[in-house]
């Protein structure tokens, strides 16, 4: 770590800033990693993919990782995790990760990661996306982060992974998945092609987020890894999209699908509820375009101005008389909002609650 209160020490250049193999009980904090040829920081289980104890109990806090993948030999994330369990990634910045969208790089990329929390981080100008967990990852909370122009997918819940890289290893008898129980809540997404994608993800949720001006879709529901050969994969299923504010330009989202649905998915098991949809350039065309979505769709607020305090300046707090204030359901809201304040009961829609003057943040 760097000394508290002093400028972060900088690790600049080289192949990777740090590479941790089979770490346990490790804290990395107050550091800057910049302009690496490949990953900024790489953490893995040493290839011991069947051993859930190989890499555990890690904390990454107050890191500034930027401009990874200048000359990548593969996918160069700012922070790459493989086979890591029980990990916290907090109050850090991930900027310009990877060499363009086609590189597949993200700010935080996890393969076979279990029990993780990614909170109060900032993701800016990344090539492919902000955060991705795939390869058998499960039980991940992605909360209270800012995603600004993070490429094709702000949060990718699942993805596409080579058979040899799953943690735990794929089962030849049971149904497998890319990801399960990934929850993205109380985040703010500005720009980017789509805020999030359910990609081979089971029991995943996208709740109480504020999504501003995506360039092509609001959400994607996809299946990139399908049953073939010796291994069976469950289709993307049991998703929840609830309590969000979608504030968009209809001129951008005019493909006919605000929620893009791919083949081999099971959207009949999805619930889409209590979301606000507002096309600020054409309010009369705010109705969500979800023709291929076959799940349950109830209680949307359509064409209702959300009442942001100052959206032009990036302030997405709700004004006192805004319609989405108190319009949510406690069951769908996370413990705290984007700023760390407790949600009210009932909660407001979106990533920011109206915090009373007497309240204190978590």
Q: Is the pLDDT of residue 361 over 80?
A: no
Work out the mean pLDDT of the chain and round it to a whole number.
94
> What local confidence, expressed as pLDDT, does residue 320 receive?
79
> What local confidence, expressed as pLDDT, does residue 244 receive?
98
pLDDT, tens digit (0-9, with 9 covering 90-100), for 260-315: 999 999 999 999 999 999 999 999 999 999 999 999 999 999 999 999 988 888 88
> What local confidence, expressed as pLDDT, does residue 358 receive?
41
Query: What percent of the chain has a predicted confidence (pLDDT) above 70?
Result: 97
Mind spelling out the 3-state secondary structure of the chain? CCCCCCCCCEEECCCCCEEEECCEEEEEEEEEEECCCCCCEEEECCCCCCCCCCCEEEEEEEEEEEEECCCCCCCCCCEEEECCEEEEEECCEEEEECCCHHHCCEEEEEECCEEEEEECCEEECCCCEEEEEECCEEEEEEECCEEECCCCEEEEEECCCCHHHCCCCCCCCCEECCEEEEEEECCEEECCCEEEEEECEECCEEECCEEECCCCCCEEEECCCCCECCEEECCCECCEEECCEEEECCCCCCCCCCEEECCCCCHHHCEEECCEEEECCCHHHCCCCCCCCCCEEECCEECCCCCEEEHHHCEEEECCCCCCCCCCCHHHCCCECCCCCECCCCCCCCCCCCCCCCCCCC
pTM of the model as a whole = 0.95
Domain ranges of the chain: 10-332
Q: Is the bond into 308 cis (omega within 30 degrees of 0)?
A: no
- Mean pLDDT confidence for 192-210: 98
- Mean pLDDT confidence for 320-349: 91
Indicate the range of 125-129, 175-179, 246-250 predicted with least confidence. 125-129
pLDDT, tens digit (0-9, with 9 covering 90-100), for 214-237: 999 999 999 999 998 889 999 999
> What local confidence, expressed as pLDDT, does residue 73 receive?
76
Confidence of residue 357 (pLDDT cuts 50, 70, 90): very low
pLDDT, tens digit (0-9, with 9 covering 90-100), for 116-160: 999 999 999 888 999 999 999 999 999 999 999 999 999 999 999
CA dist 20 and 12 (Å) reads: 17
> What local confidence, expressed as pLDDT, does residue 149 receive?
95
- Mean pLDDT confidence for 7-23: 96
pLDDT, tens digit (0-9, with 9 covering 90-100), for 68-104: 988 877 789 999 999 999 999 999 999 999 877 767 8
User: CA separation (Å) from 6 to 9, 37, 93?
Assistant: 9, 27, 17
> What local confidence, expressed as pLDDT, does residue 359 receive?
45
């Amino acid at each position: 770590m760097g000394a508290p209160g002093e400028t972060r020490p900088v690790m600049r250049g080289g192949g990777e800033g740090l590479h941790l193999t089979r770490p346990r009980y490790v804290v990395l904090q107050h550091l800057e990693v910049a302009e690496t040829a490949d990953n900024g920081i790489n953490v893995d289980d040493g290839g011991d993919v069947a051993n859930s104890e190989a890499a555990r109990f890690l904390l990454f806090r107050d890191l500034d990782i930027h401009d990874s993948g200048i000359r990548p030999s593969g996918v160069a994330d700012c922070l790459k995790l493989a086979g890591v369990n029980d990990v916290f990634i907090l109050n850090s910045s991930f900027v310009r990760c990877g060499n363009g969208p086609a590189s597949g790089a993200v700010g935080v990329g996890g393969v076979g990661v279990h029990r993780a929390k990614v909170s109060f981080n900032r993701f800016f100008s990344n090539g492919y996306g902000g955060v991705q967990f795939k390869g058998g990852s499960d039980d991940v909370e992605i909360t209270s982060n800012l995603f600004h122009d993070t490429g094709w997918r702000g949060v990718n819940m699942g993805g596409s992974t080579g058979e040899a890289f799953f943690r735990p290893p794929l089962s030849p008898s049971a149904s497998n998945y890319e990801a399960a129980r990934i929850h993205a809540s109380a985040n703010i997404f500005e720009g980017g092609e789509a805020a999030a994608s359910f990609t081979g993800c089971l029991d995943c949720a996208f709740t109480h987020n504020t999504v501003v001006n995506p360039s092509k879709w609001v959400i994607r529901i996809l299946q990139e890894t399908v049953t073939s050969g010796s291994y069976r994969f469950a289709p993307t299923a049991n998703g929840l999209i609830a309590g969000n504010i979608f504030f968009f330009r209809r001129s951008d989202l005019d493909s006919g699908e605000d929620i893009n649905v791919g083949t081999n998915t099971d959207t009949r098991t999805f619930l889409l509820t209590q979301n606000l949809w507002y096309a600020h350039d054409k309010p009369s065309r705010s109705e969500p375009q979800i023709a291929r979505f076959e799940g349950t769709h109830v209680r949307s607020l359509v064409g209702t101005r959300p009442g942001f305090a100052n959206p032009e300046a990036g302030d997405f707090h709700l004004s006192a008389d805004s319609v989405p204030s108190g319009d949510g359901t406690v069951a769908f809201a996370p413990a705290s909002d984007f700023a760390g304040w407790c949600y009210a009961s009932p909660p407001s829609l979106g990533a920011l609650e109206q915090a009373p003057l007497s309240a204190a943040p978590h």
